[in-house]
Amino acid sequence: MAATSASTLTPAWLSRALANDSRFISETVCSTLSEREYARDHIRTRSLVPEPHSTSLLARGQQALSSALGKIDPAAHYSIMIAHHPDNIVANRYSNIQPYDRTRVVVGDLKGSHCSVGAEGSKGRYFNASWVRELYGGKLWIATQAPLPRTAHVFLSAIVQPISTPPASLNFPHMHTPSRVRTIVQLTQNMERGRQKAHAYFPSTPGQSVLSNPDPTSDVPVLKVTLLESKRINEACCVQSKVSIDAVDHGVPEDEDRASLIAFVRLVDRVNKDTSSLPSSPEPDPDPPIMVNCSAGIGRTGSFIAMSSLLRAYHLLSGNLRSNTLTLPPQPLSPLPVPPLGTLPKELQEDLIAQEIDSLREQRPGMVQRDEQIHLIYDILNQAFEARGAS
């Protein structure tokens, strides 16, 4: 059988975006996405500033009117008030990176309680992490910052107990209940260029154990973490480690090593679906949410989720891509709500990468942080199509 050319497989919108020395990506995609994130940031910041009494009354009236008309109130939609509570500020690695109230991940107290966010959003232990639903790949993720010494315990607690269900606003009705995280992707080294990027929450030598103490204000038990094995996977340029509480994959793929990055995505997907070492009863979730972090949980984390979503949508991981019929499969999930900012402009309606990034930023501030990361996603997806077309 003759090989199908890469140009046949590469969709027209991707070819157009990469033409003309990528000027379209820089001048249209990056610029539009930047303006929309600036608007979100303006609303987030403004919502934290106390308003005069009269203005507050007006705001409440406008909010009630919006609710009555079935519209989304921007201030509530982009609220980060819980992250700014005095008790929670110290748990944020960076002062300007906080989860939205409506998509934050709630961690229970390790006593069997099944936590969910109430209307006031005050239940459960605070965790700088966000529920994120892929726009095109159809998977659910948890995007989180890297652990700090004082947040390592809540980070581990999110692994060893069943996690709360995602918010109804994400329209994700098919999550296996109860579900537990069993794969963690760490996209940063603990130390980079002399700066602490992540707190080491498990030992570096197989057989050793460390104790993780909870916050002094919490009465939850101490957690013991033992490294069972650790191995280098050269094709994905990463280290896969297995600890006693769950399977943990963490690695730092080099941006310039595109083949390794695609292999790393494949590995994460494969490991997360592997139930061979799990007890048969109760029946495990066949594809539970993956918790992924870098340092702030937005740049590399958002890029990894976006790439995983788009590669999965086109069946590049499973090898089921059919030549000459490259169309997006019917989306199996209900669409996400239209945000207060509205949809992307007409020239980006067919650009799945721009759509995916904008959707991720609706769910966690700053996702896919830098323009270089946006370019990387275009390059990775194009390379995947070219590799498939040449096979």
What digits encode the pLDDT tens for the residues 270-303? 899 888 877 776 778 888 899 999 989 999 999 9
What the block records as the tokens of 125 is 């232990």
Between 375 and 329, residue with greater pLDDT: 375
What's the confidence (pLDDT) of residue 252?
Answer: 37
What the block records as the tokens of 351 is 């650009």
Asked whether the predicted pLDDT for residue 153 surpasses 80, the reply is yes
% of the chain exceeding 90 in pLDDT:
39
Asked whether the predicted pLDDT for residue 53 surpasses 70, the reply is no
Query: Residue 118: left if φ>0, alpha if ψ -120 to 50, beta else—which one?
Result: beta
Residue 156 and residue 129 in contact, taking contact as beta carbons nearer than 8 Å: no
Strand locations in 66-128, DSSP E?
A: none
The values of phi and psi at residue 325, to 5°, are: -130, 45
Q: Where are the alpha helices (DSSP H) in 82-188?
A: 86-89, 152-160
Cα 51-87-83 angle, rounded to 5 deg: 60
What's the confidence (pLDDT) of residue 46?
Answer: 85
Residue with tokens 């994460």: 268
pTM exceeds 0.75 for this model: no
Mean per-residue pLDDT for 54-58?
A: 47
Average pLDDT, the chain: 80
The values of phi and psi at residue 256, to 5°, are: -80, -15
Q: Place 318 in a pLDDT band, splitting at 50, 70 and 90.
A: very low
Which of the given ranges, 76-90, 281-295, 331-345, has the highest pLDDT on average?
76-90
% of the chain exceeding 70 in pLDDT:
77
Asked whether the predicted pLDDT for residue 346 surpasses 90, the reply is yes
| C-alpha to C-alpha distance for 153 and 215, rounded to whole angstroms | 8
Mean per-residue pLDDT for 40-46?
A: 91
Give the gyration radius of the chain's Cα atoms.
21
What's the confidence (pLDDT) of residue 7?
Answer: 58
| C-alpha to C-alpha distance for 312 and 15, rounded to whole angstroms | 19
Strand 247-251, strand 184-186: pairing: parallel
What's the confidence (pLDDT) of residue 348?
Answer: 95
Asked whether the predicted pLDDT for residue 36 surpasses 90, the reply is yes
The region of weakest confidence among 70-74, 93-97, 116-120, 196-200 is 116-120
Asked whether the predicted pLDDT for residue 246 surpasses 50, the reply is no
What's the confidence (pLDDT) of residue 35?
Answer: 95
What's the confidence (pLDDT) of residue 6?
Answer: 54
Span 158-186, pLDDT tens digits? 888 777 778 888 888 777 666 788 899 99
Residues 6+ apart with CB under 8 A from 320: none
What's the confidence (pLDDT) of residue 212?
Answer: 86
Mean per-residue pLDDT for 246-273?
A: 69
CATH code for residues 6-48+80-275+287-390: 3.90.190.10
Mean per-residue pLDDT for 55-71?
A: 50
The region of weakest confidence among 65-74, 165-174, 222-231 is 65-74
Between 259 and 120, residue with greater pLDDT: 259
